Amino acid sequence: MTDPRKIDAIIVGAGIAGLYQLYKLRELGMNTRVLEAGDNVGGTWYWNRYPGARCDVESLSYSYSFSPELEQEWTWTERYPAQPEILRYINHVAERFDLRKDITFGTRVISAVYDEAVQRWLVDTDTGESIDSQFLIMATGCLSASKLPEVPGLERFQGPTYHTGHWPHEGVDFTGMRVGIIGTGSSSVQSTPVIAEQAADLTVFQRTPAYSLAARNRPLEQSEIAEMKANYRAWREAQRTSGFGVPVELPTQSALEVSPKERTAKYEAGWREGTLVSILGGYTDTLTDQEANETAAEFVRQKIRERVHDPEVAETLSPRTYPFGTKRPCLDTGYYETFNKSHVHLVDLRKTPLVKLTERGLRTSEQEYELDAIVFATGFDAMTGALNAIDIRGKGGTALRDKWAEGPRSYLGLAVAGFPNLFTITGPSSPSVLSNMIVSIEQHVDWITDCIAYLREHDIAAIEPTADAEDGWVAHVEEVGNATLYPTADSWYMGSNVPGKPRVFMAYIGGVGVYRQRCDEVAAKGYQGFTLQEALTRT
């Protein structure tokens, strides 16, 4: 157990990010405490236990790289790992590195106030604890503050309701039930086929259709596991310098400079491969040119038409209002085919909007749907939701949520001007949500750890970005984002899934490798763009 009298660092969250950060700070010999709202480790994979929950980055890539021994001893079973397997992996990591002893579970941080006089954070929890610490590291996740649909009557419905991001640990049996599911993002695309197997009747309420590709999930072959285990170091290096944290061959041509036949052949190959980037990454301009994008978008729509028997249903499921890839694409196992089943129905909320929940179900502008259970697959207040849920106050008592009222502002997505010694792992304006999350997490944690080591070596008590450096980074993120099609979509990347949230592109699309280089340069130049402050008082 850490010495309660002298905490060097508080980490908020015991998911993949928080656990690795704890491991790294222990290497520095720091007295660290992790505060976690859940009753166990896992973060995203602790909460998102809905049927069919699965990672859509391949398991051999979606794993920690910091320990070659861990890489060798753990064996994944499926190409795309299911939530229970990932959670087992995270638990294994917690045991193997003896991490639990510094984690306090069932404890939610409610406020964190920086005391300028002593250069320390005072952190209050919902269990009544007040802890002060030199560093405060937020490992709170990008998609952890769940959001319900904005409709009246949520409390009126008499049957059970479930949010995919807060699924009951004991599971839910929908056998014989009339079930409604609201939302058609990744969580719905993954859970709909599984719920449909149980439910007597399933109605999917769709506001915006997703672009989903067949995942082609399968058990891993022993030979491919062995090959990866033999080559892990090279693979990890390639991940770190890649665009999305997954090594792929880089495109060299515009989608518009090749013949339709050649283009279709390339998309077909991507389709057979079944990864998030296998079609998106085919040409240089898929994410920057509307016309180029449309060639890929139409290819995916054609696949939807092939998979769904009823042409009207296929059309309703076909996205037409935003370019392919500008909202998070999905990977599915039998999603579209589920709509061929006679007990599965699709309601287009664009044509008949959701009006309210009633005692017996749900009412659209057209009719009432009687339901026994409702699933909210309605997503998250992404990127900023979990941070803004905590009353974080920096210098002069400024609240982070006030500072971010017009959209998040940070330097490198890692630190915020006016909030010394606060670090955000996978914070807004970093590439995290546009990447293999573990690759980004490890890079952030390594950078933060090196930074803290530097401060300790140089007897520096506090670090914070300058306002100029922050302005520069915010402008850069916006400029790079504006060169793409991302800002044209109403997505959670843009904050537009939450009413009233400022419309700002909250991710850095410059690429994981480029971003890493930039962060390393900042560190190599003695933390360029940061102000370093010596201790004001000696203890």
Residues of the shown chain interacting with ligand NA7 in the complex, contacts defined by CB under 6 A: 143, 149-150, 164, 182-188, 207-208, 328, 349, 354, 377-380, 492, 497
Nearer to ligand NA7, 32 or 164 (CB): 164
CA dist., res. 123 & res. 11, Å (int): 11
Minimal distance, residue 208 CB to ligand NA7, in Å:
3
Tokens found for residue 32? 């660290």
DSSP code string of 420-475: TTEEETT-TTSSGGGS-HHHHHHHHHHHHHHHHHHHHHTTEEEEEE-HHHHHHHHH
CB 86 within 8 A of CB 58: no
Minimal distance, residue 53 CB to ligand NA7, in Å:
9
Nearer to ligand NA7, 287 or 377 (CB): 377
Nearer to ligand NA7, 207 or 518 (CB): 207
Minimal distance, residue 275 CB to ligand NA7, in Å:
14
Please give the DSSP secondary-structure letter assigned to residue 310. S
Minimal distance, residue 380 CB to ligand NA7, in Å:
6
Q: Name the closest residue to ligand NA7 (Cβ).
A: 185
CA dist., res. 480 & res. 475, Å (int): 9
Residue type, 378: T
Minimal distance, residue 15 CB to ligand NA7, in Å:
14
Q: CB burial class (10 A; 0-12, 13-18, 19+) of residue 523? A: middle
Minimal distance, residue 172 CB to ligand NA7, in Å:
16
Tokens found for residue 288? 């920057």
Nearer to ligand NA7, 296 or 382 (CB): 382
Minimal distance, residue 13 CB to ligand NA7, in Å:
17
Q: Answer left, alpha or beta for residue 426, where phi above 0 means left and psi between -120 and 50 means alpha.
A: left
Nearer to ligand NA7, 236 or 328 (CB): 328
Nearer to ligand NA7, 229 or 356 (CB): 356
Tokens found for residue 519? 């962060």
Minimal distance, residue 249 CB to ligand NA7, in Å:
24
CA distances to 81, 169, 175, 346, 354 from 195, in Å: 19, 16, 9, 14, 21
The percent of the chain in helix, strand and coil, each rounded to the nearest 5, is: 35, 20, 45
Structure-token match 């859509």, residue found: 56
Minimal distance, residue 329 CB to ligand NA7, in Å:
9
CB 341 within 8 A of CB 148: no
Tokens found for residue 523? 């560190």
Nearer to ligand NA7, 466 or 488 (CB): 488
Nearer to ligand NA7, 80 or 380 (CB): 380
Nearer to ligand NA7, 276 or 477 (CB): 276
Task: Determine the length of the chain.
Answer: 539
